[in-house]
Chains A and B, each alone.
Chain A
Amino acid sequence: MLTSVFIAAVSLALFWMAAFTLWWQMHAWRTPEVLASTRFGRPDGGEHLSFSLLLPARHEQAVLDHTVRRLLESTHTDFEIVVIVGHDDPDTTVVAERAAARDPRVRVVVDTHEKKNKPKAMNTALPHCRGDVVGVFDAEDQVHPELLAHVDHAFRTTDADVVQGGVQLINFHSSWYSLRNCLEYFFWFRSRLHLHAQKGFIPLGGNTVFVRTAVLRDAGGWDPDCLAEDCDLGVRLSSVGRKVVVAYDSDMVTREETPGTLMSLLKQRTRWNQGFLQVYRKKDWKQLPSLRQRLLARYTLMTPFLQAFSGVVIPLNAAVALFLDVPVGVAFLTFLPLVTAAVTFVFEVVGLHDFGRQYGLRVSFAHYAKLIVGGPLYQVLLAGAAIRAVWREQRGRNDWELTRHVGAHLAEPIREDLPA
């Protein structure tokens, strides 16, 4: 009897968790109108804002030059690029200085912090920004030339304080986990983030994010001690009622690459999870006005840990139902989380198809198979990263485990798209 009650309770909890996550994940496709509203409005030709684009670069000499050149191709007429390099990183500094010598719109700021991380670097550059709006990109980003014009238009027409553009991992063919990683980004930026913007609680992304300079200075810049400074900034800004607008256009997204190895993905995910945990513990989200928003915040920031939990419990629960002697009704309940998992899988398959369509990429049957087979494995990876994050946070280890970039998303430099 007690077993039955326990199993039923766990199953129902898991079911609702998965159902909510699914509901949010599918936000953008709820109706054609919602989908249309997630795109950028078409620019009207007027350009009134000036941009300061921050480009923190650490040991990125391989890709930095390409990124800067591409940024300089922007159609917008009024922007500067602030490359932030470390005083202990001569290779990247050389590349940055060369770019600055080539074009007056590029400037170099040197970060002299002893222990370096991305928020400290950006805070170093913040006082040097001359633009009305500060934008953040990563050194390996491929930015669309018309993005700034669209962002300019979005700021002016919506009166936003923050505009978050889409970021998309592209190299889905590199490995089984990069496939899933790409799709995760797709669902996050294409869909889920819009829901957060609408609900008034949003963890911002790490790049292609634009904040009015005054607002950013008001907020005191980024939190130098937080491992997910982007998420933290979003939470702090939306918690005090700043207006955030999200827009996603497949030809306007910033293209990135997945971490090159499974281990670096694990490290990256550990860092994010730990960052989410830190943001949760900072309690800025408690200033949100409504209970629903606070619940959404609580749930979102705890997601990695719920994920870890459910990844372990779902199979266990089903096994219990099959092998232990429980009433048929209770056994039925244990299948509910599997039902939502199945629905999620199906939507992921359709999402992969849509992703291929939107980016003109050929998705073969093998990729769909990999997506399905890789699902449970990826879940294990996520669970591992979540557990690792809790453990590190408990031990007080919050140093920055950096992700290395090889340029797999770029068309020319280094190709990694051989069949994995």
Chain B
Amino acid sequence: MTSTLPAATATEVVAPGRAVPEPPAPPAPRRTVPPLRLRLRLRSSRPDLLLCGALLLAVLVVQGWNIAAYPALSDDEGTYLAQAWAVQEGRGLAHYTYWYDHPPLGWIQIALLTRVPSWLSPGAMTVGAMRSAMLVVSGAGAVLVYVLGRRLSLPRWAAGLGMALFGLSPLAVVLQREIFLDNIAVMWLLLAFCLAASPSRHLWHHFGAGLAAAAGVLTKETMLVVLPALFVTMWRHSHHDTRKFALTGAVTACALIGFSYPLFALLKGELLPGSGHVSLWDGITYQMSRPGSGFLLAPSSGSYGVLHSWLYYDRVLPLGGLAGALLLLVTRRRSVTARALTGPALVVAVLTAVALRPGGYLPAMYVIGALPFLALVLAGGAASVTHAVLRRGRRPGERRLLTGGRFALAAVLALAAGAYVVPRWYDGDRTALTTDANKPYRQAAAWLGTEVEHPERKRVLVDDALWLDLVHAGYRPGLGAIWFYKADLDPAVTKTMPRGWRDVDYVVASPTVRRDARDLPNVRAAIRHSRPVAVFGTGEDRVEIRRVRPATDRQAPVGGTR
């Protein structure tokens, strides 16, 4: 029967009620009640569980209903899912040469997430069907937003508000339904923040925060810019006596896991550029030198278009969140809530600053990394305002009329906010729940699966989003069903097409293919020398299946020798 000494009374920290048997003898009142934050255990708090559970259900229903049909399939989703398929099939990290465009951890996780459903029904491994796997990610993310909100000492209703903002904003619904690496990465970052703000201030929780942050960065490298805010959060939440161990532990964990990526490249002999192989260095150089999309606020720039595509879905979360972040950062000295939410507010500030850099490249999914933090700072801002209205300057003997006025003002503010937000979100979410944006894709996939004879001998240039459908329909992955841009950009593919567009049988001209064909000579020529044999949908969104013309004078079977 042994134990360590009970806590020294001199220190402010008090030993938690561990199972250390107290001596019966001297009734010394040494062990005071643990501070509230130590007793806060969400797992055993019924109101928290009920609120979080109800919100989770709502989020899952809104995000899950009609998930396959809206929004329109994106080629990026197709890319990642196809690479996840390659991982599942044991074809390496991608069915084309993996060229260090992104660290592979993202689609390795997608492969794990979709492993069971694709094992039960191999044909279901298509973008529309597998979007449901993303529900796991967004559900986990929503719960983590709630937990983080509580750990950053938001009141219950505000944490719930943050979770609702994060899960139900039409912008979030659209983006979180899609199979994007950013969604998975942001989940890891949320986990890292939750661990960093762990109420027990446990060394290994901070260490775990470092690991989770590294997983986030290895899922999507852009998360790197969020790490300083994570560090600040950890600093704030660690105790002076153990801080240096906790923080260095976290940084070490993050760095060591992060280094596994270059190590992986090194072990494959692909760290540095060389002839005849891809390299991590080239991959990074490519990403860093992507043509800029212009200044965010210049109306003619591509970035401006991206910004407006976000604001089209929702203005409340991005703009309200930004305002909330600024409010919190400005009132840091006066408001407890603002200080508690320094981390999320910093994330928003950093991401905004990065988006505002002139000449940078701004992808459409960029905002995903900011969504949970926007939601938290907006909820925190609301909590801060509510607190100011209800409590600031209030004294014990305040007149009842004045107190009533405070509550009336709070109610008016809440109603006004609700009146502004609810109708807009209702419309946005109804669209997400009812619109079928992917019918042309499904029809095109069905046509290619039924109307084409000997698909195993045909070569089709196709958008990444439909590629897996074709593979399931019997087309050869890689050189039969071809990601359209590989026909111009991947030497391993172009060398099998000595006669250029003449070596192609079909082009599936989806909006993406038509848009990008401008810069891809082979694809452009194939479209020009083809005629539509089937068209699904109308206008800009139509999907055309085009048969490349000189079918008669081609040397018969294409398959075997290539």
Contact = CB atoms under 8 A, between A and B. Distances in A.
Interface stretch (A38-46, A91-99, A296-304): A38-46
Given A243-B1, A245-B3, A41 B9 contact: yes
The interface residues of chain B, by DSSP majority, are classed as loop
A394 interface: no
B267 A36 contact: no
Interface string B234-255: 0000011110111011001100
Nearest to A343: B252
B5 A32 contact: no
Interface in A22-50: 23, 26, 29-42
Contacts of A241: 1
Nearest to A41: B8
The interface size bin for chain A is 35 or more
A147 B7 CA distance: 18
A328 B253 CA distance: 21
Contacts of B11: 36, 39
Interface in A345-394: 346-347, 349-350, 353-354
Nearest to B204: A30
A136 interface: no
B28 interface: yes
A159 B5 contact: no
A343 B2 contact: no
Interface in A306-346: 321, 328, 331-332, 335, 339, 342-343, 346
B23 A158 contact: yes
Interface string B187-212: 00000000000001111100000000
Given A331-B267, A346-B252, A243 B3 contact: yes
A196 B245 CA distance: 21
A169 interface: no
B3 A158 contact: yes
B416 interface: no
Contacts of A158: 3, 5-6, 23
Interface stretch (B13-21, B66-74, B123-131): B13-21
Contact of A38 (B4, B26, B239): B4
A157 B26 contact: yes
B7 A37 contact: yes
B300 interface: no
B256 interface: yes
Contacts of B239: 31-32
Interface stretch (A197-205, A208-216, A273-281): A197-205
Interface centre among A36, A157, A238 (most CB of B within 10 A): A36
B82 to A, nearest CB: 21
B261 to A, nearest CB: 11
A226 interface: no
A33 B16 contact: yes
Given A157-B23, A328-B268, A354-B244, A197 B1 contact: no
Contacts of A36: 7-8, 11, 13-15, 241
Interface centre among B4, B6, B242 (most CB of A within 10 A): B4
B30 A35 contact: no
Interface in A167-214: 194, 196-202
A26 B206 CA distance: 13
Interface string A254-279: 00000000000000000000000000
Contact of B7 (A33, A199, A200, A350): A33
Contact of A346 (B16, B242, B248, B263): B248
A244 interface: yes
Nearest to B252: A346
Contacts of B245: 26, 29, 347, 350, 354
Given A157-B23, A157-B28, A244-B2, A37 B10 contact: no
Nearest to A237: B2
Nearest to A199: B2
A247 interface: yes
Contacts of A202: 2
A205 to B, nearest CB: 15
A42 B13 contact: no
Contacts of B244: 350, 353-354
A246 B4 contact: yes
A38 B5 contact: yes
Contacts of A321: 267
Interface in B142-158: none
B287 interface: no
Given A41-B6, A42-B9, A346 B249 contact: yes
Interface in B2-59: 2-11, 13-16, 23, 25-26, 28, 30
Contacts of A346: 248-249, 252
B7 A328 contact: no
B331 interface: no
Per CB-CB distance, the 3 closest pairs between chain A and chain B, nearest first, are A32-B239, A159-B23, A244-B2
Interface of B: 1-11, 13-16, 23, 25-26, 28, 30, 200-204, 239-242, 244-246, 248-249, 252-253, 256, 260, 263-264, 267-268
27 contacts: A26-B245, A29-B245, A31-B16, A31-B200, A31-B201, A32-B201, A32-B240, A33-B15, A33-B16, A36-B7, A36-B11, A36-B13, A36-B14, A37-B4, A37-B6, A41-B9, A41-B30, A157-B26, A157-B28, A158-B5, A196-B2, A197-B2, A197-B4, A199-B2, A245-B3, A347-B245, A350-B248
